[in-house]
Structure 1
Amino acid sequence: MLASFFKKSKPINFLIVGVFMTIYFISANFFRLDEAFSWPLIAEKTGYLIIYLLLMFILNFIVKRNGISKKNSFAILLFGLLTMLLLPVLKASEILVSAFFVLLALRKIISLKSGLEIKKKIFDASMWIAVASLFYPLSLFFLILPFVSIFYYATQDFKNFLIPFVALICTYLLVTAGYLLVLDITFPLSQFLVIPDLNIAIYQEAYVLIPLIIITLFTLISLFFFLKEMQNTIRKRKAMLFLILLFFIIGLLIVVLAPQKTGAELLFPMLGISMMGVIFLEEKGLKLIKEIALAILILAVLIIPFMLW
């Protein structure tokens, strides 16, 4: 029943998921404030809410426009459910902004398969990742994606491999110019010298650990069917699916190397899980398994915040 309802892409599906995402975001950010209410604070949180909702729409655009999924609402459903499970993700700030720019980059990277405006897309994707790294330095690891996509779609011109470096230099020059104009200093590259935090105490907290167990189980199921699809699909689609798998792996790497583990860094692999999980929910048959998986996620979203937050 749940899978059938979201099997088609309807405006009501976006509205339902968007309303719940908004309610949970407001609950996490306004009812659990560690500081007094103020208009600047409300404006800031509202901005992050808009970015949070935009992530859902960009993700949906990527999976539909590039044929990763059929015309359904599974991607937005999974993104909403997974992110609503974790309080630190809902309270994320810079990571939300960074994820927004990373998704813009992924959109350009996957569209390279069309063979149109290749150099422009490589430059745009690389610059978006560079901008994302200004908000969360470790997101610079996603720069691996443009290079891999060049290997798949644009090896005919070796100069394409130089474009990401040009984009990095351009971003640095623009940011440095802004720093000089406003602060009269150069942009500090030292912020990219990140020391991984080995303290995983936050992941032992019940409000993170229990959702993480549920998400991990769903990820393993989704990964199985995703790899199966990769093995059986045509070569052109296989390259696209590999880029999504690599996106997910880079997200996991960022979680491991995070300089301060808060749980918010889990947003990066969640974006990959939301795309991979679509393949599982579109699998023919397995109706009961899919319904149980979605029911567990929805029940967890409805129960965990009231019990553990």
Structure 2
Amino acid sequence: MLASFFKKSKPINFLIVSVFMTVYFAVANFYKLEQAFSWQFMAKKAGYLLLYILIMFILNFIVKRNEISKKNSFAILLFALFTSLLLPILKASEILIAGFFVLLALRKIISLSSGLEIKKKIFDASLWIAVASLFYPLSIFFLILPFVGIFYYATQDFKNFLIPFVAVICTYLLVTTGYLLVFNVIFPLSHFLIIPDLSIGIYKEAYVLIPLIISTLFTLISLFFFLREMQNTIRKRRAMLFLILLFFIIGLLIVVLSPHKTGAELLFPILAISMMGVIFLEQKGLKLIKEIVLATLILAVLIIPFMLW
């Protein structure tokens, strides 16, 4: 029943998911609030909520525009469920902003397959990733994606491989100009000097560990069908799916290397899982299994955050 309802892409689906996301965003940000309310505080939170919902719409745009999925709402449902399971994500403004920009970059990289405005898209994608790294430095690892995109779609001009470097330099020069005007100092390169923290202390906490186990089990199921789809599909689509898989792997790398682990860094692999999981939920002949999986996820979201947060 759940799979059947979200199997179609209707405005009511987006409305339900948006309301759901709003409720959990409010729980994450206002439950046990330790600071006084103010108009500035509320305006800031409203802005982050808007950004959170906007990420959902961009995610949906990517899977629909590039025909990763059919006309359904599975991607936005999965994104809403997994981010609601891990409430620390909804409190991490810098990671939400970085996630927004890397998703914009992924959209540009996948669209290289059209063969149109290649250089502009490479520059834009690299620029968005550079901007994301200003908010969350480890996002810079996503610069691997434009180079892989060039390898797949734009190797005919070797100069294309130089464009990401130009975009990063332009970003740095613009930010440094702003810093000089406002603070009279150069933007410090030490911002990108990250000392990884390989400890997993936070992942032993129940409010992160249990959602992580649930997410991992779903990811393993989804990976099986996703990799099978990669193997059986046409070359053009295979390249696109590989970019999503690579996005997922880079997201995992960022989780491992994150210097201040809170659980919020899991947003990056979740973005990829939300797209990869669609392939599983579109499989034919698995109706009962899909219903059980979705029902389990929804039940977990309705119980776990309120029990453990």
What TM-score, normalized to structure 2? 0.99
Q: Which runs of 4+ in 1 moved over 3 A?
A: none
**AA at the equivalent of 1:294:** L
State the match for 2:125 in structure 1: 125
Match of 1:211 in 2: 211
Residue 227 of structure 1 corresponds to 227
Instruction: Give CA deviations for 1:150-195 in whole Å, capped at 9, x if unaligned.
Output: 0000000000000000000100110000000111110111010001
> Which letter does structure 1 place at the counterpart of 2:75?
A
Aligned partner letter, 2:305: P
What 5-or-longer segments of structure 2 have no aligned partner? none
Q: Which residue of structure 1 aligns with residue 3 of structure 2?
A: 3
- Once the two structures are superposed, the pairs formed by residues 76-95 of structure 1 within 5 Å of their partners are 76-95=76-95
| 2:278 is aligned with 1:278 | yes
Report the Cα distance in structure 2 between the residues aligned to 1:32 and 1:51, rounded to whole angstroms: 23
Q: Please provide the CA RMSD for this pair.
A: 0.7
Letter in 2 for 1:200: I
- Structure 2: how far apart are the matches of 1:195 and 1:285? 48
Q: Which amino acid aligns with 1:255?
A: V
The one-letter code sitting in structure 2 at the alignment partner of 1:51 is: L
The number of residues matched between the two structures is 309
Structure 1 unaligned regions, length at least 5: none
Residue type of the alignment partner of 1:45: K
Percent identity of the aligned residues?
Answer: 84
How many angstroms apart in 2 are the aligned matches of 1:135 and 1:14? 28
- Does 2:69 correspond to 1:69? yes
* C-alpha displacement of 1:32: 2.6
Shift of 1:46: 1.1
Bigger mean CA deviation after superposition, 25-34 or 272-281: 25-34
**Helix, strand or coil: the match of 1:289?**
helix
- Per the alignment, in what secondary structure is the counterpart of residue 46 of structure 1? helix
Distance 1:258 1:66 in 2: 31
- Give the letter for the 1:40 counterpart: Q
Deviation at 1:199, TM superposition (A): 2.4
Deviations 1:21-77 (A, max 9, x none): 000101110123222222211111111111100010000000000010001000000
2:105 equivalent in structure 1: 105
Name the TM-score, length of structure 1 as normaliser.
Answer: 0.99
- What letter matches 2:205 in structure 1? E
Q: Is 2:150 the counterpart of 1:150?
A: yes
CA distance, structure 1, for counterparts of residue 29 and residue 2 of structure 2: 29
CA distance in 2, matches of 1:200, 1:163: 37
Cα shift readout 1:115-141 (whole Å, capped 9, x = no counterpart): 000000000000000000000000000
> 1:266 & 1:34 partners in 2: Cα distance?
25
Residue number in structure 1 paired with 2:13: 13
* Equivalent-residue separation in structure 1 for 2:305 and 2:248 (angstroms): 26
AA paired with 2:191?
Answer: Q
- Equivalents in 2 of 1:174, 1:37: separation in Å? 35
Partner of 1:161: 161
2 CA distance for matches of 1:306 and 1:149? 41
Distance (Å, rounded) in 1 between the aligned partners of 2:201 and 2:12: 40
SS at match of 2:175: helix
Partner of 1:18: helix, strand, or coil? helix
1:68 is paired with a residue of what secondary structure?
A: coil
Q: How much does 1:98 deviate?
A: 0.4
